[in-house]
């Protein structure tokens, strides 16, 4: 079988968790391939709400195997908290969870470095989630990292101490009160102790050569969905650098993050909100810094799932969406949160940019530095509540026109429209 991929086409938080959960019954394996606990994937069903950070969103289906791939970075403390949260709802995640030996560990001191680097950036700060993402991927590529497979080896403690010491040396150049700096409300020492307790618990989970497991599974006819984290515009190569995360969030990331060869990639399911949001700093050409933006935030409950920060809101950026479709080779689009636009009289779309008074229809290198001004297209809204619609034929005409416009512009079919946070709130399109 070929592996399908689901990933975000904007700046993250498109609703990946919800759709992975919806699609899970169709797959034998769900696998995360990049990112770490900077992700916050929300799943809602039966009046319950879960937010997952590292554990794949297929965990609610007992017969699906969930793999945390080699491209992911893991913080045992956060992972452990997630296991407890699931356990409290009767879900024993350990039973159908596997971790790659090659996934790197986020050390408590990686989080200190993240905080120190961010505060040193001052006004130019990235708006990192402060989960240690940048420093951990830096250590990975600088060949200093510690991997899940190392935790079972005799020299683990020595490696841990050496790397921590290296971090403390770096931190001397920053004015940081190490004793009192808190990580998730805990002093460093307490956090570190809990981190080690959590690490012990992780030894009871299957730690595997995930690239072998995945390829053998695909070759024996098993189906797999790769679950992206963050979004294309946060990709370290193709996003609005330097205001990005530190991994490849795009389709190519699946090949390196799981060990799946390119010819084994099947459908690429690209998901996007009917509008746009971004949390953290960086360019956002279609941002609305006005009452319309506030209305999007209120109607869409746009507050970060990981940090609780208010998300910046704006209209759909078609230039960025087409770019994301190109980079990822998207074969199907899923439109999320269409219901958030229920009460908007008019809907706008950014169709091109103005860069120094020149109209352009591509994402320029300058996107990271210059203020791009969008050209707008106005479409009529649907002025009606669509949350209870489940059937394609009941879709209001104005929404249908909006969806068909996006299909025409991107050349990719929109296969689903999501009309609410619950698992059941989906309209399938033929």
Query: Which residue ranges make up the site for ligand GDP (CB under 6 A)?
Result: 8, 12-18, 40-42, 44, 305, 336-337, 339-340, 418-421
Cα torsion 112, 40, 334, 7: sign: positive
Dihedrals phi, psi of 88, to nearest 5 degrees: -60, -20
Residue 230: name its binding partner from Mg ion, ligand IMO, ligand GDP, none (Cβ under 5 to 8 Å by kind): ligand IMO
Q: Which of 4, 13, 139, 317 is catalytic?
A: 13
Nearer to ligand GDP (CB atom), residue 17 or residue 108: 17
Binding track over 275-314 against Mg ion, x by CB under 5 A: ------------------------------x---------
Report whether the peptide linkage leading into residue 148 is cis, meaning its omega lies within 30 degrees of zero.
Answer: no
133 binds, among ligand IMO, ligand GDP, Mg ion, none (CB under 5 to 8 A by kind): ligand IMO
Q: What mask, x for binding Mg ion by CB under 5 A, covers residues 29 to 68?
A: -----------x----------------------------
Contact with ligand IMO (CB under 6 A) among 106, 107, 234, 316: 234
Q: Smallest distance, Å, CB 157 to ligand IMO?
A: 28
Q: Which is nearer to ligand IMO, 137 or 213 (CB)?
A: 137
Instruction: Decide if 126 contacts 114 (C-beta within 8 A).
Output: no
Work out which of 3, 279, 319, 416 binds ligand IMO, going by CB under 6 A: 279
Phi first, then psi, for residue 137 (nearest 5°) are: -65, -30
Instruction: State both tokens at 197.
Output: 């307790």
The answer to whether 13 is a known catalytic residue is yes
Q: Check if the beta carbon of residue 86 is closer than 8 Å to that of residue 135.
A: no
Of 97, 229, 313, 427, the residue at the interface with ligand IMO (CB under 6 A) is 229
Q: Which stretch binds ligand IMO (CB under 6 A): 36-44, 82-90, 158-166, 400-408?
A: 36-44
Could you give the 3-state DSSP secondary structure of residue 245?
Answer: coil
Beta bridge partners of 362: none
What value, to the nearest 5°, has the Cα angle with vertex 366 and ends 373 and 306?
80
Cα separation values, 202 from 93, 136, 221, 362, Å: 12, 19, 29, 45
Q: What is the dihedral of CA 64, 69, 74, 76, to 10 degrees?
A: 40
Please list every residue from 121 through 140 that binds ligand IMO, using CB under 6 A.
126-129, 131, 133-134
Is 339 an annotated catalytic residue? no
- Spatial neighbors of 360 by CB under 8 A, at least 6 apart, are 352, 353, 354
- Return the bridge partners of 352, or none: 375
Binding site for ligand IMO (CB under 6 A): 8, 11-13, 38-41, 126-129, 131, 133-134, 229-231, 234, 245, 279-280, 305
Positions in the binding site for Mg ion (CB under 5 A): 13, 40, 305
Residue numbers annotated as active site: 13, 41
């Amino acid at each position: 079988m070929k592996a399908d991929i689901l990933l975000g086409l904007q700046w993250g938080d498109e609703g990946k968790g919800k759709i992975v959960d919806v699609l899970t019954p169709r797959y034998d394996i769900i696998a995360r391939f990049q990112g770490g606990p900077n992700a916050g994937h929300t799943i809602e069903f039966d009046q319950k709400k879960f937010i997952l950070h590292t554990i794949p969103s297929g965990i609610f289906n007992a017969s699906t195997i969930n793999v945390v791939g080699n491209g992911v970075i893991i913080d045992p403390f956060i992972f452990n908290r997630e296991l407890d949260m699931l356990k409290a709802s009767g879900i024993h995640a350990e039973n159908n969870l596997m971790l790659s030996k090659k996934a790197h560990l986020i050390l408590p001191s990686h989080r200190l470095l993240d905080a120190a680097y961010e505060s040193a950036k001052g006004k130019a700060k990235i708006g990192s989630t402060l989960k240690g993402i940048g420093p951990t991927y830096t250590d990975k590529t600088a060949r200093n990292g510690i991997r899940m497979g190392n935790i079972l080896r005799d020299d683990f403690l020595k490696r841990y101490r050496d790397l921590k010491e290296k971090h403390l040396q770096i931190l001397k150049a920053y004015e940081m009160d190490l004793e009192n700096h808190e990580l998730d409300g805990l002093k460093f020492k307490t956090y570190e102790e809990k981190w080690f307790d959590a690490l012990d618990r992780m030894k009871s989970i299957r730690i595997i050569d995930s690239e072998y497991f995945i390829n053998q599974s695909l070759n024996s006819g098993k189906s797999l969905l790769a679950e992206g984290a963050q979004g294309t515009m946060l990709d370290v190569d193709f996003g609005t650098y330097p205001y990005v995360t530190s991994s490849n969030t795009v389709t190519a990331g699946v090949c390196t993050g799981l060990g799946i060869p390119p010819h084994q990639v099947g459908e690429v399911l690209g998901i996007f909100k009917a509008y746009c949001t971004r949390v953290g700093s960086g360019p956002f050409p279609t941002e609305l810094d006005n009452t319309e933006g506030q209305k999007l935030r209120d109607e869409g409950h746009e507050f970060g799932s990981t940090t609780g920060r208010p998300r910046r809101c704006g209209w759909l950026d078609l230039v960025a969406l087409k770019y994301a479709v190109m980079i990822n080779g998207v074969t199907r689009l899923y439109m999320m949160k269409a219901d958030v636009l229920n009460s908007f009289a008019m809907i706008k779309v950014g169709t091109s940019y103005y860069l120094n008074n020149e109209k352009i229809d591509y994402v320029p290198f300058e996107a990271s530095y210059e203020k791009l001004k969008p050209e707008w297209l106005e479409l009529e809204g649907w002025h009606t509540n669509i949350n209870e619609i489940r059937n394609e034929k009941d879709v209001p005409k104005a929404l249908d026109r909006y969806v068909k416009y996006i299909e025409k512009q991107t050349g990719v079919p929109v296969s689903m429209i999501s009309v609410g946070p619950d698992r059941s709130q989906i309209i399938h399109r033929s």
